[in-house]
Amino acid sequence: MDTNHSSSTRPKKHFWNKRPKKLTVDDITVIDNDMLKRAVGAAALGNAMEWFDFGVYSYLAVIIGKVFFPDANNAIQLIATFGTFAAAFLVRPLGGMVFGPLGDRIGRQKVLAITMIMMSIGTFCIGIIPSYASIGIMAPILLLVARLVQGFSTGGEYGGAATFIAEYSTDKRRGFMGSFLEFGTLGGYLLGACLVTVMTSVISSEAMMSWGWRVPFFIAAPLGLFGLYVRLKLEETPAFKQHMQKQEELEQSKPRLSLFKMLSKHRVPMMKCIGLVLLFNVSNYMLTSYMPSYLTGVLGLPELSGLLLVMVVMFVMMPLTLMWGRWTDRIGRRPVIGFGAVGLILLSIPCFMLIGTHNMWAVFAGLLILGVLHTCFSGTMPSTLPALFTTDIRYSALAIGFNLSVSLFGGTTPLLTAWLVDTTQNTMMPAYYMMVAGVIGLLTILTVRETARKPLSGSSPAVATEAEAHSLIRKLDKSAEPVPPSPADAK
């Protein structure tokens, strides 16, 4: 009787008091530092190669127009040259739709090796295409084909490289390690631009028209072989290995979502990705692509002066990109991106007013401020964007979201801005354009949760040493508190 009474009155343990599964050292990934460095270098090298081609093509645009479109006037030659360049942006989303799901299925490392081969072949082939004088209309057609190959492969490059670095990095240093991806972007562009500038200075214009313009494209072959060698030496990311192991351990693996269902199910983080990439790439292409022509064609500055000013600003941006990446590991991603977005909103007009004075120091100051604001994004996005998605769809979602945004908003920035200036005759239109991008970026980052110093979604914590793993376990044990479970657990 007493026993039954005691049993009936004993309070039940409320479901609210359930605790999460206790982590052990085996649940924490210890990252090999040497492998991390190789992974970062290999990923950054591919991005550098992509932007090496971008710098070379941009700075050789006039010569390429004369070689492949000799019957047109200068304006038509430039339009045709940049038209073939822009065509690559049209196929980038297709590349993302192919390489992204492939990277989530067979692995990041294998797909990044494929994209490296394709980028190298596409760039090298531009250098060996005969001129219009030799093979006629086939010359610009082959140029277009080479650019399409480049664009298609690039569709799988950035998303894969950012995913690769993010999944290889420790939670405490993911921002700093990711910033090396954009460090490679700036380095590749500067290398290509500097090479063309030096060659133009030491080689006669006749020699550049005849054979000199081909040399920078030939360099893609050894660069590509080296990059392929480095990438093939890498292991798959720890996060992807864990994901595949879990899939194998499941008795009935979940059916893989179709591309449409994946986009529909994850549309919210996808929209956040597109908004952040819009902010990132509008400022990027405004500086790297549109600004040189704006300085010379709209403001009337000497061509060499405009190119050199942009190059100097980009050189200053390289260490700043790494600095912001390191700071995001301390203060968070959201404050840095928010600071840059607010800066674009408040300072775009003053910067373009400085640039419009025609005074070299004022022009440099305006460009430098815009460059510093852009590094808030370049140093942060490689660690922010991959964290929006879980491991099983990270490559797919990031490749598709990134390339859709680049194609719609990034690659069109020079064209739309030039059209706005020409239509309105208002030289401040680029400033207004960047302000709109700043507003969209600010509204987007306010909806993104902070991910600095936290594990990637769907991945275990990643640390640098076993001692750090034990320290993390002790810290979690002390701070562990009862947490409310999901409604399903409550039942």
Helical ranges in 107-219 per DSSP H: 108-128, 132-135, 138-154, 157-168, 174-202, 205-210, 215-218
Per-residue pLDDT reduced to its tens digit, 405-451: 999 998 788 878 888 888 898 989 999 999 999 999 999 999 999 99
**Mean pLDDT of the 98-118 span:** 94
Closest CA to 416 of 226, 223, 251, 278: 278
Per-residue pLDDT reduced to its tens digit, 323-335: 999 999 999 999 9
pLDDT at 73: 66
pLDDT at 485: 47
pLDDT at 432: 97
Length of the chain: 491
Q: Which neighbouring-strand residues pair with 29?
A: 462
CATH 1.20.1250.20 corresponds to the domain 27-237+261-468 = yes
pLDDT at 200: 84
Per-residue pLDDT reduced to its tens digit, 209-231: 899 999 999 998 898 888 889 89
pLDDT at 75: 63
- Provide the 10 A C-beta neighbour count for residue 350: 13
What is the pLDDT of the chain when averaged over all its residues?
87
User: What's the number of CA atoms in the CB half-sphere (13 Å) around residue 385?
Assistant: 38
Collapsing DSSP to helix, strand or coil, 395 comes out as helix
In degrees to the nearest 10, what's the CA dihedral of 312, 415, 123, 374?
40
- Provide the 10 A C-beta neighbour count for residue 91: 20
Give CA–CA dist 402/268, Å, rounded. Answer: 14
Place of tokens 């294998």: 110
Give CA–CA dist 29/380, Å, rounded. Answer: 23
DSSP 8-state symbol, 155: T
Predicted confidence (pLDDT) at residue 260 exceeds the cutoff of 80: no
Per-residue pLDDT reduced to its tens digit, 27-65: 889 999 999 999 999 999 988 988 898 888 877 877 888
* Res. 253 pLDDT band, cuts 50 70 90: low
pLDDT at 445: 98
pLDDT more than 70, % of the chain = 89
DSSP string, 414-471: HHHHHHHHHHH--TTHHHHHHHHHHHHHHHHHTTSPP-TTSPPTTS--EESSHHHHHH
